[in-house]
Amino acid sequence: MWNEYNNPRHIRTLNGVVELQLKIRRCQNKLCLRYKKAYRPEQEGSLALPQSEFGLDVIAYIGALRYQEHRSVPQIHTHLELKGICISQRTVTHLIDRYDELLSLWLKDHKRLKAIVANQGRVILAIDGMQPEIGHEVLWVIRDCLSGEILLAKPLLSSRNEDLVALLLEVTNTLNVPINGVVSDGQQSIRKAVGLALPGIAHGLCHYHYLKEAIKPIYEADRHAKKELKKK
C-alpha cells in the first residue's frame, strides 16, 4: 500500500515522552473493498488509546494503584509526579474512568463491536500485556488491527498460557467471523496460547519490542556521555 502521509504523535509513557512518526497508508486499488481507507501502524494501538496523550502503560499503572493498592486520586497524582510524569489530578480521575471503561468494554459495547467486525467480514487480532511494575496485575488487551477497536481488556494475576487461551477464546468464540491472523511480541506464553486457542492461524511477531530492547544499551551509553559532557 502507498504511504499517503506521515502523522506525528507524542505519548507520555512511564519511561518518558515517546515521539512517533506514523506512516498512514491507503490502498490505491479501486476494486478493493477497503479502497482509500486509512491503515495506521499496528504498533500504535499497543502504546496508547486513540486521541490519548497518555500511554496504555500509564493507564494500567493508575488502575493498579487505584484498585490493588487502594490509593486516592491525590496520592496517585503525587506518585506519578515523583516518577517524572507531568499530569493533573483531573487527568488522573479521567484515566481511572478510562481504565474502568476498558474493563467493561466487552460487556457494555458487545453489540457494536460485533457489528463492526461482521461488516469487515474478518479480523486480525493483536494481543498485548502491560505490567507497570513487578507484583502488579498484567492488563491484557486484545485489539482488532483492521478497525483499531479494543475488543477485550482484562487484568490477570499471571501470564500463564492457560489464562491467555481462555482470554482469546472469550473473544473468538463470539465474533462469528474468520480470524486471518494474530500479532504479538515473542513472549513464549502468548505464542503457546495462540497455538492452542487458534491452531493453524498465522501468528506474526512484532519487531518493535525487539528493537526497543536492542536500543537500550545505546540509549544508556548516550545518556552517560551527555552527563559526562555536562560535567566538563
Which residue is associated with the grid cell 500479532? 183
Scanning 83-128, the segments in alpha helix (DSSP H) are 89-108, 110-120
pLDDT of residue 25 exceeding 70: yes
The pair phi, psi for residue 74, each rounded to 5°, is -60, -40
Q: Number of structural domains, the chain?
A: 1
Q: pLDDT digits over 131-152, tens only?
A: 777 777 888 999 998 888 889 8
User: Tens of pLDDT along 168-219?
Assistant: 998 888 888 999 999 988 788 888 999 999 999 999 887 665 666 667 788 7
pTM of the model: 0.71
Q: Which of 18, 19, 31, 23 is nearest to 7 (CA)?
A: 23
What domain range is 23 assigned to?
A: 2-231
Q: Which residue has the cell 491525590?
A: 74
- Model pLDDT, residue 207: 67
- Return d(Cα 172, Cα 165) in angstroms, integer: 10
φ, ψ of residue 181 in degrees (nearest 5): 175, 170
pLDDT in tens, 90-137: 999 999 999 998 888 766 677 888 888 888 889 999 998 887 777 778
Beta strand spans in 14-135 (E): 16-26, 38-39, 123-130
The pLDDT of residue 213 is: 61
What is the Cα–Cα distance from 48 to 144, expressed in whole angstroms?
14
Find cell 516518577 and name the residue.
Answer: 83
Which one, of 96, 6, 2, 81, lies nearest residue 44 by Cα? Answer: 6
Nearest to 87 by CA among 64, 117, 55, 43: 55
Q: How many other CB atoms sit within 10 Å of the CB of residue 78?
A: 14
Residue 60: exposed, middle, or buried by beta-carbon count in 10 A (0-12, 13-18, 19+)?
buried
Relative to beta strand 179-184, strand 123-130 is: parallel
| Lowest mean per-residue pLDDT among 43-47, 77-81, 120-124 | 43-47
